[in-house]
A and B are shown apart, each in its own frame.
Chain A
């Protein structure tokens, strides 16, 4: 998995570190927050499992209502943003503060922190946009947090094939779907806003250096966690 082409020196901290963990306080704080967020999403996923497998009827079949190919592409977009985030981290660790720079003998230009973080922001904003479009379409078709809207096309389909569309538990399905994906979407939105703030206040004025890029590492941890949670949610909500 790893290749030994490049040794990575972690930041040499000119600032104090926490005695127990040996990392700076911002990073420790983010890890503690992520640990609490694990419990938060566990509560949501646990409730979903109990509701789904304890429900009096069968859940709607995967793909019957939700647009899985579109969400699959959205998942890929979020994975790409995670890679660009880690490339941004690697770029500033190597002192590459620039946007793009020509490399002698290479056709492609070398991306720096400004380039990779911008790609991450665009991919993150793209993910949220696709999710908003998906919500609008689902609600338009009659799939709401309260179940299938009366008189909608979806309600008619569900009445014709109640097993495929899980008619008896439509309310449970709708509320758990919108709660889980909604809270995740909220996390992604917060991440995009935080990255935009960092981009304009720290990255563009080149305030980060190979000696101190704490902000990039901490927001990176948050962003990868959001990606990690979506990987689990995508499987549980869309595929199973």
Chain B
């Protein structure tokens, strides 16, 4: 039996507002703002990863979980990056 952990509850509505604003920012950036294509690509990816992290950390409560449990979710990410890089390298090669 484990000792229950206690943490402060995130302000879910504030995170929802962040996600909403960032989604609008993404669409505007993609279609309305005159930004160079490569810069646009990088900014869109940053916004997407930022939004995904907000969901994982606060809605999935990863921020409040033990490191052992976080590792289960974190370990596949570098593996995924290696997988994609390898496939791209093979294509380039």
Q: Which residues of A contact B (CB under 8 A)?
A: 1-13, 16-17, 20-23, 28, 31-32, 34-36, 38-39, 42-43, 45-47, 49-50, 53-54, 62-63, 68-69, 72, 75-76, 79-80, 82-83, 85-87, 90, 220-221, 224-225, 227-228, 231-232, 234-236, 239-240
Contact = CB atoms under 8 A, between A and B. Distances in A.
B14 A235 contact: no
A31 B65 CA distance: 12
B34 interface: no
B11 A1 contact: yes
Main secondary structure of the interface of B (DSSP, over half): helix
Contact of B73 (A1, A38, A42, A50): A38
Contact of B59 (A49, A53, A224, A239): A224
Nearest to A8: B9
A224 B68 CA distance: 20
Contacts of A13: 1-2, 4
A102 to B, nearest CB: 21
Contacts of A232: 48-49, 52
Contacts of B72: 21, 28, 31-32, 35
Nearest to A80: B16
Interface residues of B, number: 53
Given A46-B83, A72-B23, A239-B27, A22 B69 contact: yes
Interface-central residue, A63, A87, A225, by most chain B CB under 10 Å: A225
Interface string B53-93: 00110111000011011001101110110011001100110
Contacts of B59: 82-83, 85-86, 220, 224, 227
Given A50-B91, A235-B47, 7 more contacts: A6-B9, A7-B8, A9-B4, A31-B69, A83-B59, A85-B59, A220-B59
B16 A79 contact: yes
Contacts of A220: 59-60
Given A22-B68, A42-B80, A72-B23, A34 B73 contact: yes
